[in-house]
Chain A
Amino acid sequence: MLIKTDRDGFIHPVSSEITSEKVYHDRRALIKLMAGGAAGAALAGWAGREAMAQAITAPGKHAALAGGKSNVAGAVTMDKLTDYKDASTYNNFYEFGTDKADPARNAGTLQTRPWTVSIEGLVKQPKTYGIEELLRLSAQEERIYRMRCVEGWSMVIPWVGYSLAELIKKVEPLGSAKYVEFVTLADPKTMPFVGSRVLEWPYVEGLRMDEAMNPLTLLTFGMYGEVLPNQNGAPVRLVVPWKYGFKSGKSIVKIRFTDKEPRTAWNKAAAQEYGFYSNVNPNVSHPRWSQVTERRIGEDGLFAKKRKTLMFNGYEAQVAQLYAGMDLQKLF
């Protein structure tokens, strides 16, 4: 007969000391709940990172690019991550074709080294940065953002980059600089659809200076812990999470500081449909479709209901003050 003593190892003196299996499994759910705000704003940031910490697995397709934790408010959303496969095969990048499967098929030709980004216009320190220097300019952070496309679908993507503000501070814009223009690559040799009549090339985007300086505006080099795949805008792109996706230019080669509102690519193509601001706004419908709901890519199978689109894509707390007093119906 075996007589067990408390030296035998995994034995508890009283059964009440044993954490029940249910509570054990609920821990993660509890942390998520806290992050949702139930435990207060102070804990939310911490819990948010804790709950998401295990969610990102590097897909092993590209060179690793790790991002540290970010202290920026709104930097990490709690929404479930979109699969890397979906985020890297369902893209709008018209230089490589208008079908959403085209960029992943065709962007292999893009040459991302050597790569330079020239800073021009109304700045004290105009300069042409090599991509390596730009990568090291500030600490890389991980930012998990919602991404809402003007077409009515959305994803949740863990980007790696740093606030564009870090670069802007370095190059010291003049007082007269009111806008920032982003010019992207237009190389007909490597981009088969540059020259198609859909848009004017190069693809140009722009932000107001205060939008560009908002810490959520991300100069982005990677996603899912690796450098950007070509079809997602390698080697460097912008991500502005509270605006429709097309505002976030891919494969940027030039950043220009100006005193006039830049004429942006989609605005030039169809001004009545795509305004300069293009903030995510369920109350302002696109002339050809409603923006009230969106389909979250990869969510809950074929028959999942669409979800409600949030004002400023859920970043209202961080960016609403930028537009105080503006008529967003007119300045859409």
Chain B
Amino acid sequence: MSKWLLQPAAKPTVFALCLLPFIGLFYQALADQLGANPQEALIRATGDWALRFLCIVLAVTPLRVLSKTPSLARFRRMLGLFMYFYVLIHFLSYSGFDMGFDLAEIVADIIKRPFILVGALSLLLLTPLAATSFNAAIKALGAKRWKQLHKMIYAVAGLAVLHFFWMRAGKNNFAEVAVYAGILALLLGWRLRQFIHSRAKS
């Protein structure tokens, strides 16, 4: 496994895999396979994929440490940027299909609906992370400050679950929310434990 991850073909392969959901949705939209309400289907599917990529990117470090596979770290940036990609399409789908790209309408909606506010806030917090993902930015910020900044992802994880929870609250339908909340709690809980351990040692 560790060996494969270092192959030159590894990154393009992961890239292609990450793009598959997008290609799938694009094809389904063209082929009219998204059901009676394709706009709603797209908004929801892109949101699901954003949430899945959040879980995937947060799983990289625990997996790397637990499986002693340092080469996993090579993929973290790409996975993080793909998460941002799906968040952005999710937001664009909502803005376009639900709000007709009417800025005033979008602002009013953000103020009116707490779950939209929380979603918009997540996008806002993620944007500086995506913008500082390239090497020069890391250098300019300094590794320490860069790390501090990118801890914001933990806050986004909480907001994302809250966004999904409130969205499903109307139908009291929390089974799926619980799955994502459980996975993210596990991934963040592992970090908390590491943090406490490292403190105890020093």
Report which A residues bind B (CB closer than 8 A): 85-86, 89-90, 94, 98, 100-101, 153, 197-198, 269-270, 273, 285, 288-290, 295, 297-298, 302-303, 305-306
Contact = CB atoms under 8 A, between A and B. Distances in A.
B171 A198 contact: yes
A294 to B, nearest CB: 11
A198 B172 contact: yes
Contact of B35 (A89, A98, A285, A306): A89
A235 B26 CA distance: 39
Contact of B38 (A101, A269, A290, A302): A302
B95 interface: no
Nearest to A99: B173
Contacts of A100: 36-37
A101 B172 contact: no
B173 A98 contact: yes
Contacts of A270: 170
Nearest to A89: B36
Given A302-B29, A305-B100, A306-B100, A288 B170 contact: yes
Contacts of A90: 35-37
Contacts of B98: 306
B69 interface: no
B173 A297 contact: no
A153 B112 contact: no
Contacts of B38: 302
B39 interface: yes
22 contacts: A90-B37, A94-B171, A98-B171, A100-B36, A100-B37, A153-B37, A198-B171, A198-B172, A198-B173, A273-B170, A290-B109, A290-B112, A295-B37, A295-B39, A295-B40, A297-B36, A298-B36, A302-B38, A302-B42, A303-B96, A306-B98, A306-B100
Contacts, number: 46
Given A90-B35, A298-B36, A289 B171 contact: no
Given A85-B36, A298-B36, A305-B100, 10 more contacts: A86-B36, A94-B171, A100-B37, A197-B172, A198-B172, A285-B112, A288-B170, A290-B109, A302-B29, A306-B98
Contacts of B139: none
B11 interface: no
A96 B86 CA distance: 31
Contacts of A89: 35-36
B112 A289 contact: yes
B191 interface: no
Contacts of A198: 171-173
Interface string B77-113: 0000000000000000000111010000000010011
Contacts of A153: 37, 40
A297 B38 CA distance: 9
Contacts of A306: 98, 100
A101 B35 contact: yes
B50 to A, nearest CB: 20
